[in-house]
Every structure is written in structure tokens, then in C-alpha cells.
Amino acid sequence: MSAVSLAEMLSQDCPDPSGARSSNRFAFQSSYGTCHMLKLHEAGVNYCVLFDVHDDIVSLDHPTAPTKASFFQVKTKASGNWTTHSITTGEKSASGTTLPSFLGKLYKHRLKFDVAVDRLTFVSNARFNVALADATDSKEKESIAVSELSVVELETIKGALTLEHQLTTEPEGLELIFLETTALSLNDHDNHCLGVVTAFLEKQGDGSIQPLPFHRTLKSDIQRRTNRETRDAAFSDLVKNRGLTRQQVQDMIDCVMSIKKQNDLVSLISSQFTKESFPPNQSRVLIENVRKYLAGRLDPTNRIIAEAQKMIEIELDSVSHAQLVSSTIISGVLSHCSKISCKEWQAVCQHYSTDFLNAMIVVQIYEQEFSASNSQSEEKSL
């Protein structure tokens, strides 16, 4: 390779965004990307996964200074199997020109990024009907290395790639190409992906993080990145806008409150309502909104909640210590906040309700107190 880094190559020579695609293809691609990313996370890899940049999915070995990249082309097939002919023959466009073949587009990354390519994978829900050197049934295999193909199949691929890319020498790096059949089904991939997320989260924290909200958060983040239609000049912007890193996914895990912690928090708030003699009906409504808020804030695209939450944090910083340790902490803080008017809180009241805003404030009171208590404990232990 040249002296230009992989990061620079990825950002400097980035194709135009692909624009609209079918919702089914995007959903399947998103499910595969989620499963792949969680597999890397569980393996302890310091990854960055890019969505719809150069290919459907690109997996980097480092979020800021990558040296290796794996490219994944994800294709669905309603029926039948893939053959060497179908993956090396380009379809005809409306104008009559021959489009690049699937394998040709994938192999282009090897020509472009040279030795920085770690793996080239053609992924599908369908099986591969190709002749293998050991004469075993390819349709029974989940992953097939191109190097495992028979001499005839391998020569067919070499000839097709040589012709498509107008190579003057035999194509190199074919051992990096893999044909993979994912376990995700075409019509039920979302539920299968949720199962993968559930199994993953069972190993995180106390094992009681709710998988459905976390799954929705991941899907929302991936969708936002995939649908982005502007180009990013700097690699850092490319990662920020089109990728998810190990640290970002870990932050999502850390901020998702487990079922046990949610129940503990709700019990603590409910107990305080009783101590402060809140009417039973008011307590019930506020608790319902506390749970609603804890679920709603998991969506990173919900700007209404995010912006109101920032204003709550700012306002609570100005509340006196005496108020925060008083026996009527909730009543006092809610009374204090009711006198404040800001557009962020008004938006919450308009889209949700005043009770929802009050529930946000109550949750922040206790989470801020927990944070302060933990910080004091850490200082004492030093």
C-alpha cells in the first residue's frame, strides 16, 4: 500500500451515498449488521462498523486508526441457491449496459485497499450451490472460502474477475473471499436478531437488561446512519455519522437500566411519594410516567426528551443542597420547577403531558443523587 493510511483512503475516496433502497433489504442488512457487531463486541474487539460506506457493511479493527477492514455485501434471495455464474455475471441495466457482478464489486475492495483488506464476504439468506474441491455438498455449509472451490469453479471466478476488472495478471487475494449463508431468515430476521440481542444482553451487567428497547435503539441508530446522504470529508466524521464503535455500543449498554434497577428505582420513588403524602391517584400516574420515560429515553433520535433532560440537569444543579436532602424532596423540587418556563419543557408537555415532565424530573433527582453518592464513595476509597 501507499503511505496513505486506511482511514484516509476510506474518507478521501468514499463513493456517493447510495440513496433509497427497499425497506426489506435495509431491514435485513440492519439485522445482519447488528448481529455481526454484537459478535465483535462479545469477542472484545475494539471495532468500528460502518454502514453503507463502500459496501453494505465495513468492519474496521480500530475506531480511530484502523489498519484492517472487512467488507460485507449483503444480498437476499427469495428462492433458489446462488451459483458461481449468478455471482460473477452482471445484470443488464435499463440502457443495455452490463452492471458489475456481485463478486466483482466485492473484489474491487481488494484492488482499492490492497493489503488492508482482511476479509471479503458475500452474505445471503440463501445457500450456495457450488462445486467444492473435497466433493462435499456446498449447500450444507454456512461459510465457504473461495479457496475451497473446485479447480473448475476457481478458474471460472478468476476469469470473470480478470475480464471485469481488465486485469493484466491473475487476480490475487482470492483466499480473502468467503460465501456466507446467515441464519437470519428472509421474513423473520427481526425476531431472530432480537433473539441474538437477548442472548447478548443476558451476559451483560446483571443479565436483566430489557432486550426489546435496546434492540429498537440499535435499529434506530443504524437506520439513521444508513440513511445519511451527505459525504464526510474527514475520517472522524465518517465514523461519527456512519459508524458505530465498541465504546458507543458499550455506552448504550451502560445507560440502559436493567429491570432490577428500574424496579428498585420505582420502589424508591413510590416510597418517597408515600412519605410525602402524595394522593394515591397522583402517585400511580407519576409512576406510570416514570416507566414510560425510562423506556422512551432509550431512543437516541428523540430530541424532545433529550433536550428537556439536559435542561432538567441544568436546573437541578441550581437547587440548594438543603432542598435535595429534605424530607419533601420531590414536592419541593417539583414546586420549584413548576415556576420555570422553557421551550424544551413546553415541548414535553405538548407531546406527552405535564405528568411525564414531572416524572422526568423525579427520575433525574434520584439519578443525580446516586451519581453524587457514588462519587463521594469513590473519593473516600482513595
Tell me: do 215 and 281 sit in the same domain.
Answer: no
- The pLDDT of residue 321 is 77
What's the CA gap between 380 and 166, in Å, rounded? 69
pTM over 0.85: no
- Reading the block at residue 272, the C-alpha cell is 418517597
Residue 95, helix vs strand vs coil: coil
In 61-153, which ranges are E strands? Answer: 69-75, 117-124, 143-145
Among 219, 238, 255, give the residue marking a domain's end: 255
- Reading the block at residue 50, the C-alpha cell is 460502518
Q: Is-contact 361 335, C-beta < 8 A?
A: no
Q: Which of 89, 84, 54, 90 is nearest to 69 (CA)?
A: 54
Decide if 356 is inside a domain: yes
pLDDT tens sequence across 296-326: 887 766 889 989 999 999 998 888 777 778 8
What's the CA gap between 380 and 76, in Å, rounded? 57
Decide if 1 is inside a domain: no
- The pLDDT of residue 317 is 87
pLDDT tens sequence across 351-362: 999 999 999 999
pLDDT tens sequence across 70-87: 999 999 999 999 999 999
Q: How far is CA 125 from CA 25, 74, 138, 144, 186, in A?
A: 11, 9, 14, 14, 6
Q: Which is it for strands 143-145 and 177-181: parallel, antiparallel or unpaired? A: antiparallel
Burial class (CB in 10 A: 0-12, 13-18, 19+), 209: buried
Tell me: do 239 and 271 sit in the same domain.
Answer: no
Among 203, 236, 255, give the residue marking a domain's end: 255
Tell me: do 222 and 173 sit in the same domain.
Answer: yes
DSSP assigned state of 75: E
What's the CA gap between 192 and 208, in Å, rounded? 19
Tell me: do 68 and 31 sit in the same domain.
Answer: yes
Tell me: do 205 and 271 sit in the same domain.
Answer: no
Q: Which domain holds residue 232?
A: 6-255
- The pLDDT of residue 377 is 39
Among 207, 235, 255, give the residue marking a domain's end: 255
Tell me: do 46 and 167 sit in the same domain.
Answer: yes
Q: For residue 58, what is the enclosing H or E element?
A: strand 55-60
Tell me: do 340 and 213 sit in the same domain.
Answer: no
Count other C-beta atoms under 10 Å from residue 298's C-beta. Answer: 21
Tell me: do 245 and 281 sit in the same domain.
Answer: no
pLDDT tens sequence across 2-61: 568 999 888 876 765 554 455 667 889 999 999 999 999 999 999 999 999 899 999 999
Decide if 341 is inside a domain: yes
> What proportion of the chain, given as a percentage, has pLDDT over 70?
90
- The pLDDT of residue 217 is 84
Residue 13, helix vs strand vs coil: coil
Mean pLDDT of the chain: 88
More confident residue, 128 or 93: 128
Q: Which of 107, 44, 100 is nearest to 71 (CA)?
A: 107
Q: Is the pLDDT of residue 160 over 50?
A: yes
Q: Is the pLDDT of residue 273 over 90?
A: yes
Tell me: do 227 and 272 sit in the same domain.
Answer: no
Tell me: do 185 and 78 sit in the same domain.
Answer: yes
Tell me: do 42 and 79 sit in the same domain.
Answer: yes
Q: Is-contact 164 103, C-beta < 8 A?
A: no
What are 117's strand-pairing partners? 69
- The pLDDT of residue 20 is 43
Cα–chain center distance at 105? 24
Cα–chain center distance at 268? 33
Phi, psi at 203, each rounded to 5°: -100, 0
The tally of domains found in the chain comes to 2
pLDDT tens sequence across 198-240: 999 998 877 778 888 889 888 888 988 887 766 667 899 899 8
Tell me: do 248 and 269 sit in the same domain.
Answer: no
- The pLDDT of residue 25 is 74
Decide if 21 is inside a domain: yes
- The pLDDT of residue 155 is 96
Decide if 209 is inside a domain: yes
Q: Which of 234, 217, 233 is nearest to 225 (CA)?
A: 217
Q: Is the pLDDT of residue 275 over 90?
A: yes
- The pLDDT of residue 303 is 87
